[in-house]
């Protein structure tokens, strides 16, 4: 599957449809509390412009939005904008605190290279936020049907949807630790806003009863390095007492 401007433009156009906007909003709601808990001065995000809403919820001082195509006009995004492919990130080794990749792996010819680049540019203890379409969902079935009907389905159906366990295995090999996760959207991929509204009850039921069938899964992972000892906050350190001595007790009165 070629990684070219056509896919990027198709995905950009899809996020402006009613169904695309609804999914982006659901993802933003799930990401908001996750991103506010992640700290660091430099945050980078690869995605089409409409996903830039996610960056509004992070606490980074410097926010860089990367587009993998050259826009005809300056897009409205949060922070600085550069043109760069995720397979060759133009950042120094161990220089980025937070990297957000919404629906990037699915449309890349080399997702493994993207993850290796991620491991390279993140600082120790830095965070990666992955947002991916789930093949084990009604959205995954829609992609499969579209592929059977036509070999040239538009985005997002022309991407490769990777299962959650497979993505976790890739991350584990690179030394990432899973911090948290979330499931997004259980409504079928129908175009009609009226039908989606009527099926809205599936989101509440699905999050409780069948989270593994969500259209999208979100993973927050942390880069770990062998031999790195995490710093312990001073207020979490226990006072050291010499062996054989009792800890002093303060008496009142």
DSSP state, 17? S
- How would you classify residue 94: left for phi > 0, otherwise alpha for psi between -120 and 50, otherwise beta? left
Q: Give the residue among 53, 61, 63, 3 at the shortest CA–CA distance from 26.
A: 53
What is the rounded average pLDDT for all residues in the chain? 85
* pLDDT tens, position by position, 36-84: 999 999 999 999 888 888 988 999 999 999 987 666 555 666 678 899 9
Confidence of residue 1 (pLDDT cuts 50, 70, 90): very low
Q: Of the ranges 22-36, 76-90, 126-140, 144-158, which one carries the lowest mean pLDDT score?
A: 144-158
Domain 5-236 fold = Rossmann fold (3.40.50)
Per the listing, tokens 């809403």 go with: 53
Q: Is the pLDDT score of 205 beyond 90?
A: yes
Q: Is the pLDDT score of 248 beyond 50?
A: no
Residue ranges of domains in the chain: 5-236
Angle at 52 between CA 196 and CA 136, to 5 degrees: 45
* pLDDT tens, position by position, 91-122: 999 999 999 999 999 999 999 999 999 999 99
Q: Of the ranges 92-101, 115-124, 208-217, 230-239, which one carries the lowest mean pLDDT score?
A: 230-239
Q: Is the pLDDT score of 233 beyond 60?
A: no
Rounded CA separation 3/8 (Å) = 8
């Amino acid at each position: 599957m070629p990684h070219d401007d056509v896919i990027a433009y198709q995905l950009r156009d899809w996020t402006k449809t009613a169904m695309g906007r609804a999914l982006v909003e659901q993802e933003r709601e799930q990401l908001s509390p996750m991103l506010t808990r992640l700290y660091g001065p430099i945050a980078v995000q690869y995605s089409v412009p409409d996903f830039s809403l996610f960056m509004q919820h992070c606490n980074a001082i410097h926010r860089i939005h990367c587009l993998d195509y050259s826009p005809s006009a300056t897009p409205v995004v949060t922070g600085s904008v550069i043109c760069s492919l995720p397979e060759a990130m133009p950042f120094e080794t161990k220089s980025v605190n937070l990297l957000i990749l919404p629906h990037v792996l699915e449309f890349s010819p080399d997702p493994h290279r993207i993850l290796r680049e991620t491991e390279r540019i993140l600082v120790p203890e830095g965070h990666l936020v992955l947002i991916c379409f789930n093949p084990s969902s009604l959205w995954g079935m829609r992609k499969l049907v579209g592929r059977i009907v036509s070999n040239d389905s538009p985005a997002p159906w022309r991407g490769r949807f990777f299962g959650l366990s497979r993505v976790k295995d890739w991350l584990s090999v690179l030394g990432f630790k899973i911090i948290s996760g979330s499931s997004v959207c259980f409504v079928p991929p129908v175009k009609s806003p009226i039908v989606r509204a009527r099926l809205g009850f599936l989101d509440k039921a699905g999050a409780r009863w069948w989270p593994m069938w969500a259209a999208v899964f979100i993973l927050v992972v942390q880069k770990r390095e062998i031999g790195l000892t995490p710093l312990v906050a001073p207020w979490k350190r226990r006072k050291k007492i010499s062996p054989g001595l009792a800890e002093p007790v303060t008496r009142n009165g």
